Amino acid sequence: MIEVSTCVICDSPIRRLKRALVAPFVAERTWKRKPFCVDLVGCDTCGFKFYNPRLDDKDLSNLYRGYRSPEYQRMRFATEPWYTPSFNADLASPNSYEIRRAKLAPILRQHLGEQKIGRILDYGGDRGDLVVGLVDGAEPFSYDISGIDVAPGVTPTKDPTACKPDLIVNSNVLEHVGFPRVLVNEILNAAPKGGLVFLDVPCEFPFGFARLARRIAQIAVMTLMRPATSRYILRPATLYMMHQHINYFTEHSLRVLMESCNGEVIATGTYPYGSRAGRADMAWCLARKN
Ligand SMILES: [Zn+2]
């Protein structure tokens, strides 16, 4: 873990907002230890909120080894009774990718304009399912360090620079990483000059009613069905529990992140996930590498 003293997006001062418990599953899988507390901090300049200390590369590799494999599911189920095999499978089901593509395709169509996309690269997107058919006529590639098998029709690449992608898509990844600027710089480095980068992240608010209600429900279920965890989780810090999303982005902080890596922002926006019209569940940013 790496303790930081300034914002990991814009380098401005940060302040502590809350103490937050590390989820039992995350503590066990990443550090082989019992749940403990970290700080939830915020940057008043760019609005980014995150847990501190940060997860380093080794922590992330421990946490995500065998991501969503049967062994991962069983370990998570041991403290999270709702994380059943079918729940785990649904997260990466064909239907879930179809929903995500249906959200992103119109946004890309609107903002790509006349730009021709010959090659599209899913950067860190598992099997590359998301980019298959996402942009008309674009050949799909996938770069994922896990070395997982790719989806039908997708070409895997070990060197994202070599495939010279016209558009790189990084979706639902940045909320998991300790140092988002490092990853966005890597993505921009993989793009050819004039290439496009599309970032897509959940737009979550740690103190929102829906989030707190969900945490309370989870605490109740864990206490009832996994009583051994109750001695760790029955405390206020569990309301702001750190799970695998260790970053809270807004549309603005995502733009600041892209600009801080010298990406030329073309457009940003938000969209609702699922059918809840009018909600800003996800934030996106489209930029060009100059
Ligand atoms: Zn900041």
- Grouped pLDDT means (10 residues each) for the chain, 290 residues: 98 98 97 97 98 97 91 95 92 88 96 92 90 95 84 92 95 96 97 97 90 92 93 94 96 98 97 73 96
Instruction: Return the pLDDT at 125.
Output: 76
Enumerate the domain spans of the chain. 14-91+205-244, 95-202+261-289
Ligand 1: distance of its center to the CA of 72 in Å? 33
Ligand 1: distance of its center to the CA of 256 in Å? 8
Rounded CA-CA distance 136/144 in Å is 23
What is the torsional sign of CA 284, 130, 169, 22? positive
- Token pair for 270: 């938000």
Instruction: Tell me the pLDDT of the chain averaged across its residues.
Output: 94
Ligand 1: distance of its center to the CA of 44 in Å? 7
Please, are residues 283 and 249 in contact by the beta-carbon 8 Å criterion? yes
Sheet with 247-248, edge to edge strand ranges: 14-21, 37-43, 49-52, 247-248
Rounded CA-CA distance 180/196 in Å is 18
Ligand 1: distance of its center to the CA of 65 in Å? 30
- Provide φ and ψ at 219, rounded to 5°: -60, -40
Fold of 95-202+261-289: Rossmann fold (3.40.50)
Ligand 1: distance of its center to the CA of 197 in Å? 21
pTM over 0.85: yes
Ligand 1: distance of its center to the CA of 10 in Å? 4
Instruction: Return the pLDDT at 5.
Output: 98
Ligand 1: distance of its center to the CA of 16 in Å? 13
Rounded CA-CA distance 121/167 in Å is 6
Instruction: Return the pLDDT at 126.
Output: 80
Other Cβ atoms closer than 10 A to 94:
9
Ligand 1: distance of its center to the CA of 231 in Å? 35
Ligand 1: distance of its center to the CA of 13 in Å? 8
Ligand 1: distance of its center to the CA of 223 in Å? 36
Rounded CA-CA distance 282/249 in Å is 9
Ligand 1: distance of its center to the CA of 170 in Å? 21
Rounded CA-CA distance 146/276 in Å is 33
Residues 217-239: pLDDT tens digits?
999 999 999 999 999 999 999 99
Residues 272-288: pLDDT tens digits?
986 666 677 999 999 99
Ligand 1: distance of its center to the CA of 7 in Å? 5
Ligand 1: distance of its center to the CA of 179 in Å? 12
Ligand 1: distance of its center to the CA of 114 in Å? 34
Instruction: Return the pLDDT at 278.
Output: 64
Ligand 1: distance of its center to the CA of 185 in Å? 17
Ligand 1: distance of its center to the CA of 26 in Å? 25
Instruction: Return the pLDDT at 213.
Output: 92
| All residues with CB under 5 Å from ion ligand 1 | 7, 9-10, 12, 43, 45-46, 48
Full DSSP string of 217-282: HHHHHHHHH-GGGHHHHSSGGGGG-B-S--EE--HHHHHHHHHHTTEEEEEEEEE-STT-TT---E
Instruction: Return the pLDDT at 148.
Output: 76
Calculated CA dihedral for residues 279, 204, 47, 16, nearest 10 degrees: 150
